[in-house]
Amino acid sequence: MRSSLQAVDDPAAEAALRALEAAAAQVSALSTQALSNRDRLTLISRVETVVRMLPAAGLEWIAQLQEQWSNTEFPANNLVDTLADSLRITPAEARARWHAADDLAHHVGMTGEAVAPLLSETAAAQRAGAIAPAHVKIIRDVMHHLPVTVDAATRAEAEVMLAGHARELRPDQLRKVADKLEALINPDGTFTDADRARRRAFTMGRQGPDLMSKCTVVADPELRAYLEAIFAKFAKPGLLNPEDPAPLTDGDPDEVVAQRDTRSAPQRQHDAIKAVLRDGIASGRLGQHRGLPVTVVLSMTLQELEDAVAQTTATGSAVEISGPAVATGGGAMISIGDAVRLASHAHHYLAVFDRHDGRPLYLGRAKRIASADQRIVLHARDIGCTFPGCTKPGYLCQVHHRTDWAAGGSTDADQLTFVCEPHHQQVGTHSTGWGTSPAAPGARDAGRTRWIPPVHIDPARRPRVNKYHHPGEYFAPTTEPVYRKPS
């Protein structure tokens, strides 16, 4: 049994991998119907030990990859993307393994000497298969959360103690021990500005089926002070109430207006933050990002807009606009009603599509850098990165010449495409580079960017198209096969 067609050049390493793969296949095929439950539990326990040992070896190899990294060896020029693409894991998981290797793998010192892992006792327990990933996470979280004022000797003692308990306790039990330990080491809860700076974070979760997103904030004292001032002003009952025909935006609401406001305090705070952000974007003081003013860019077809208007219904004094959600330049989906309201503040962008006023979408060889109008066209056509499988939205993309500028490509809207920065760096005519070309008119992918993989990824170099930002095309009927056998 082979897990991959690739072989390791070193004979000893290749033999060890073959033995591991063969043993895994043999154990997986065991017939256990005749075993007792005691034997089954023993089997599960011993396999669990082996499963726990293997990640430790992987972290050692990741650390060696990082220390001997070369930007010319792999298509992606960074370790995170290379791991994610090769192992088919998320970049977040690849980054987590990279950071874990910093704590749990051996490193090479400035003079070439071997340096023990930062959390040496935890690393040893992991290599022995004595602790699970949940144990490792608890220990790493505690060690990174300790104040910077804790001396090295105390840190080392704490890590040894936690690793020892991890060999005997379940993760939930170890978590309680860790809480007690933190209280003993830092009984007064004293933290410095450096400690607080390490913990500051804003995490925006995925959109749910209702298009809502759950966000988690760890606010430093300064951000909290700003939020308190905003809430004191704009989160009062009756202010910025979206259910009012003409929401009050300033001053103190009278008692009637305040009592009419049925929003909860969290809902009022949400609306206050939205109003401040909207005002900041509308002010024009945020400058530009990739050639465009910082604003919300929406990708909507004329047919979608007409359908939404046709389905508009009036309920009392309110008007409801219904239709499918549309995409923003950041990759979020927004209801068609909200999109129409946002578009009312951006007629200068809509003019690119509904007026022919001579704005330069075709520059030929006169200019290499795409214009702002061309980026708007790409937001509408590509929506996000066109590299196969990439989910990066248009806000995070650069403009790429589908026929390379150095090879005579022109800076015309129909010859440009969106590519995120990491994938832009993989384009080239060298042996590990990806090629790009526009799909010919009449082809099933007409208008899309075709990516031609290097030989080491696909010897036949069959073109690939990213349909992630155009999900309707996944099910589009076609008479052309997705993949052809090489002739």
Q: Does 9 lie in the same domain as 81? A: no
Reported confidence tier of residue 353, pLDDT bands at 50, 70, 90: very low
Exposed/middle/buried for 227, CB within 10 Å: 0-12, 13-18, 19+?
middle
Phi/psi at 103 (5° precision): -90, -30
Where does a domain end: 225, 252, 283?
Answer: 283
Name the residue range of residue 234's domain.
213-283
Q: Does 86 lie in the same domain as 182? A: yes
pTM recorded for the entire structure:
0.60
367 part of a folded domain: no
Where does a domain end: 259, 283, 307?
Answer: 283
> 64 versus 310: which is more confidently predicted?
64
What average pLDDT does the structure give for the chain?
82
Rounded Cα gap, residues 455 and 97, in angstroms: 29
Closest CA to 411 of 376, 358, 363, 449: 363
Q: How many CA atoms lie within 13 A of 383 on its CB side?
A: 19
366 part of a folded domain: no
pLDDT, position 154: 92
pLDDT, position 101: 95
Give per-residue pLDDT as tens, 44-58: 999 999 999 999 999
What stretch of H or E contains 464?
A: none
Q: Does 178 lie in the same domain as 222? A: no
Q: Does 150 lie in the same domain as 43? A: yes
Closest CA to 451 of 442, 222, 468: 468
pLDDT over 90 percentage in the chain: 37
For the chain, first and last CA: distance in Å?
29
Give per-residue pLDDT as tens, 100-132: 999 999 998 888 888 999 999 999 999 999 999
Q: How many distinct structural domains can be found in the chain?
A: 5
Sign of the C-alpha dihedral, residues 53, 55, 58, 63?
Answer: negative
Rounded Cα gap, residues 24 and 45, in angstroms: 15
Reported confidence tier of residue 473, pLDDT bands at 50, 70, 90: confident
Q: What is the DSSP letter of 313?
A: E
pLDDT, position 249: 85
pLDDT, position 413: 67
Q: Does 146 lie in the same domain as 244? A: no
Closest CA to 390 of 334, 470, 324, 326: 470
Q: Does 44 lie in the same domain as 22? A: no
Collapse the DSSP code of 417 into the 3-class scheme (helix H, G, I; strand E, B; otherwise coil) and give the result: strand
Q: Does 172 lie in the same domain as 42? A: yes
Q: Does 167 lie in the same domain as 76? A: yes
200 part of a folded domain: no
409 part of a folded domain: yes
Residue 137, pLDDT > 70, answer: yes
| 183-209 mean pLDDT | 84
In this structure, which amino acid lies at residue 22?
A
pLDDT, position 62: 95
Q: Does 173 lie in the same domain as 257? A: no
Q: Does 142 lie in the same domain as 247? A: no
Among the ranges given (119-128, 462-471, 476-485), the one the predictor scored with the smallest mean pLDDT: 476-485
Among the ranges given (93-107, 233-247, 252-266, 432-446), the one the predictor scored with the smallest mean pLDDT: 432-446
CB 326 within 8 A of CB 304: yes
Q: What is the DSSP letter of 78?
A: S
195 part of a folded domain: no
Rounded Cα gap, residues 311 and 297, in angstroms: 23
Query: Cβ neighbours of residue 404 under 8 Å, at least 6 residues apart?
Result: 427, 429, 436
170 part of a folded domain: yes
Q: Does 171 lie in the same domain as 45? A: yes
> 446 versus 259: which is more confidently predicted?
259
364 part of a folded domain: no
Q: Does 180 lie in the same domain as 46? A: yes
CB 293 within 8 A of CB 348: no
Where does a domain end: 283, 307, 329?
Answer: 283
Rounded Cα gap, residues 253 and 247, in angstroms: 10
Query: Cβ neighbours of residue 427 under 8 Å, at least 6 residues apart?
Result: 400, 404, 419, 433, 434, 435, 436
